[in-house]
């Protein structure tokens, strides 16, 4: 069976070499692209202050993190959880750079880049010139990210797992890969579009005289009026009468 770990981190900033540290790790286990329910999630005391810019992104304060374990205390559990699985992240170089910096401080070997899948790179190849942020991909695939008011490693990993499956082509229900009652992102998007249909159409802005003048003009045209193929049946019958 193919085991993959979709993960995300939150940090104190943008530069692991400049002293920024990991403050949260969230991992979601997939087997054959399906979530198993086995997750790894931990908050980490970064042993330094929390810059205001980083706090604005994830909302994790120095006070909140003060009683959380340091990275050294959770490193072995993290390494054991990921094992030798393929690692999936969005803008993976950022997260891997931070994790390798943390592991390097403890004498652990780095995570091999060969086992890392970057969903940002996949999205850019698949949808060139289109927005490729996690939020943009949720919108494209109809994935609900309404809980994502701030960045959070586990929530982002859970959402990214859905995005990753859609980037691979989506779950094939005809092959029995989706449990009964679980909707795919395509089905959710379709349902969402259906919910936006007006129960009553808006009244026409044309006056009776304008509508009559239009029909008189149409009557002068020869051949089939092509756009009438796309009118609802009742409207097409009325227009043809």
Question: Can you tell me whether residue 197 is helix, strand or coil?
Answer: coil
In terms of residue numbers, what domain contains 111?
3-194
The domain total for the chain is 2
pLDDT band at 110 (very low <50, low <70, confident <90, very high): very high
The values of phi and psi at residue 138, to 5°, are -60, -45
Specify whether 158 is located in the same domain as 181. Answer: yes
pLDDT band at 228 (very low <50, low <70, confident <90, very high): low
How far apart (Å, rounded) are the C-alpha atoms in residues 129 and 170? 22
> Which residues carry a binding-site annotation for a divalent metal cation?
8, 10, 156
Specify whether 154 is located in the same domain as 190. Answer: yes
Asked if the structure places residue 28 within a domain, the reply is: yes
For the full predicted model, state whether its pTM sits above 0.75.
no
Question: Can you tell me whether residue 37 is helix, strand or coil?
Answer: strand
Asked if the structure places residue 111 within a domain, the reply is: yes
- Of 228 and 154, the structure prediction assigns the larger pLDDT to 154
Specify whether 7 is located in the same domain as 108. Answer: yes
Residue 107 has pLDDT above 80, yes or no: yes
- Of 4 and 237, the structure prediction assigns the larger pLDDT to 4
How far apart (Å, rounded) are the C-alpha atoms in residues 12 and 198? 46
> Which residues carry a binding-site annotation for substrate?
8, 10, 58, 156
> Which residues carry a binding-site annotation?
8, 10, 58, 156
Predicted pLDDT at 212 = 83
Specify whether 38 is located in the same domain as 150. Answer: yes
pLDDT tens, position by position, 175-227: 334 444 445 555 555 555 555 555 666 677 778 888 888 788 777 877 676 66
Specify whether 235 is located in the same domain as 178. Answer: no
How far apart (Å, rounded) are the C-alpha atoms in residues 98 and 11? 8
Predicted pLDDT at 173 = 33
Predicted pLDDT at 187 = 57
Mean pLDDT of 27-54: 97
Asked if the structure places residue 168 within a domain, the reply is: yes
Asked if the structure places residue 121 within a domain, the reply is: yes
Specify whether 151 is located in the same domain as 184. Answer: yes
Predicted pLDDT at 200 = 66
- Of 164 and 240, the structure prediction assigns the larger pLDDT to 164
Predicted pLDDT at 84 = 97
Asked if the structure places residue 202 within a domain, the reply is: no
Specify whether 94 is located in the same domain as 213. Answer: no
Specify whether 145 is located in the same domain as 221. Answer: no
Residue 238 has pLDDT above 70, yes or no: no
How does the average pLDDT of the chain come out, rounded? 86
Of 39-48, 133-142, 222-231, the poorest mean pLDDT is in 222-231
3-state SS, the chain, equals CCEEEEEEEEECCCCHHHCCCEEEEEEEEEECCEEEEEEEEEECCCCCCCCHHHHHHHCCCHHHHCCCCCHHHHHHHHHHHHCCCEEEECCHHHHHHHHHHHHHHCCCCCCCHHHEEEHHHHHHHHCCCCCCCHHHHHHHHCCCCCCCCCCCHHHHHHHHHHHHHHHCCCCCHHHCCCCCCCCCHHHHHHHHHHHCCCCCCCCCCCCHHHHHHHHHHHHCCCCCCHHHHHCCHHHHHHHHC
- Of 31 and 228, the structure prediction assigns the larger pLDDT to 31
CB atoms within 10 A of CB 43: 19
Q: What CA–CA distances, in Å, run from 169 to 33, 155, 162, 164, 190?
A: 11, 22, 11, 9, 17
Question: Can you tell me whether residue 31 is helix, strand or coil?
Answer: strand
Specify whether 216 is located in the same domain as 187. Answer: no
Predicted pLDDT at 188 = 56
How far apart (Å, rounded) are the C-alpha atoms in residues 153 and 156? 5
Mean pLDDT of 41-48: 98
Catalytic residues: 151
pLDDT band at 65 (very low <50, low <70, confident <90, very high): very high
Predicted pLDDT at 211 = 80
Predicted pLDDT at 175 = 38
Specify whether 90 is located in the same domain as 181. Answer: yes
Asked if the structure places residue 222 within a domain, the reply is: yes
Specify whether 163 is located in the same domain as 189. Answer: yes
């Amino acid at each position: 069976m193919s085991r993959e770990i979709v993960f995300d981190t939150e940090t104190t900033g943008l530069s692991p070499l400049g002293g920024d540290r990991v403050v949260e790790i969230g991992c979601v286990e997939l087997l054959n692209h399906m979530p198993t329910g086995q997750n790894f999630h931990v908050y980490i005391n970064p042993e330094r202050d929390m810059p205001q810019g980083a706090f604005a992104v994830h909302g994790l304060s120095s006070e909140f993190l003060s009683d959380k374990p340091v990275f050294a205390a959770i490193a072995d559990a993290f390494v054991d959880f990921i094992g030798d699985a393929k690692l999936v992240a969005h803008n993976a170089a950022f997260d891997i750079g931070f994790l390798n910096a943390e592991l390097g401080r403890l004498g652990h070997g780095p995570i091999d880049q060969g086992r890392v899948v970057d969903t940002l790179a996949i999205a850019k190849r698949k949808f060139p010139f289109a927005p490729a942020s996690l939020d943009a991909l949720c919108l494209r695939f109809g994935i609900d990210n309404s809980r994502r008011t701030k960045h959070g490693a586990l929530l982002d990993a859970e959402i990214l797992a859905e995005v990753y499956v859609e980037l691979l082509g989506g779950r094939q229900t005809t092959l029995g890969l989706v449990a009964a009652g679980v909707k795919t992102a395509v089905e959710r998007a379709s349902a969402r579009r259906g919910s936006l249909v007006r129960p009553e159409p808006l009244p026409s802005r044309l006056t009776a005289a304008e509508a009559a003048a239009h029909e008189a003009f149409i009557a002068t045209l020869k051949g089939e009026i092509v756009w009438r193929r796309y009118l609802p049946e009742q409207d097409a019958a009325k227009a043809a009468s």
